């Protein structure tokens, strides 16, 4: 039986999300400097995050859903998961989050992910 392209895409996206979900979550203590929001797109992305995502991913950390701040997923996979939902995550349709707001949300998540830890605040691992 031949699989259709959308089915294969869903399988590939699911596999990527499962494998990236195996890392440990960053805790909510301030490991990195605060983000500056001089960019209107990041400001809007933060607003969308707190309105739509914060309940399950508090401050981007693990909660009801997995942590987002340490998952280096490409933007198109983040958008795919938001629109289609995977696992226990519900889909969020365009009537709740517009395409522009989704772009801003992904930019915000990427900015949080790229915000590098402050070396003196990172606790070294014990051998």
Tens digits of residue pLDDT in 51-103: 999 888 887 777 777 777 777 789 999 899 899 988 888 999 999 999 999 99
Of 23-37, 70-84, 98-112, the least confident = 23-37
Taking alpha carbons only, the member of 38, 52, 37, 35 closest to residue 101 is 52
* Right CATH for 33-118 from 3.40.50.2020, 1.10.760.10, 1.20.1260.10, 3.30.1280.10: 1.10.760.10
Percent of the chain residues topping a pLDDT of 90: 29
Which residue, among 35, 39, 43, 55, has the nearest Cα to 113 in the 3D structure? 35
Based on its alpha-carbon atoms, the radius of gyration of the chain, rounded to whole angstroms, reads: 16
Would you list the domain boundaries of the chain? 33-118
CA 84 – CA 13 distance, rounded (Å): 11
Query: Tokens 């930019």 correspond to what residue?
Result: 107
- Per-residue pLDDT band for 23 (boundaries 50, 70, 90) equals very low
Instruction: Provide the H-helix boundaries in the chain.
Output: 5-20, 40-52, 75-84, 99-114
Prediction pTM value = 0.66
Structure token pair of residue 45: 């992305």
Query: Which tokens go with 123?
Result: 């606790």
């Amino acid at each position: 039986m031949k699989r259709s392209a959308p089915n294969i895409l869903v399988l590939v996206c699911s596999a990527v999300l499962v494998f990236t979900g195996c890392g440990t979550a960053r805790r909510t203590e301030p490991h990195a400097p605060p983000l500056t929001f001089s960019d209107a797109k990041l400001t809007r992305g933060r607003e969308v995050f707190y309105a739509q995502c914060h309940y399950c991913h508090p401050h981007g950390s693990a909660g009801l859903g997995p942590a987002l701040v340490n998952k280096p997923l490409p933007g198109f996979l983040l958008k795919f998961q938001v629109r289609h939902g995977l696992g226990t995550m519900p889909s969020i349709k365009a009537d709740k989050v517009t395409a522009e707001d989704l772009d801003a949300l992904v930019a915000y998540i990427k900015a949080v992910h790229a915000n590098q830890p402050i070396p003196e605040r990172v606790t070294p691992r014990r051998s």
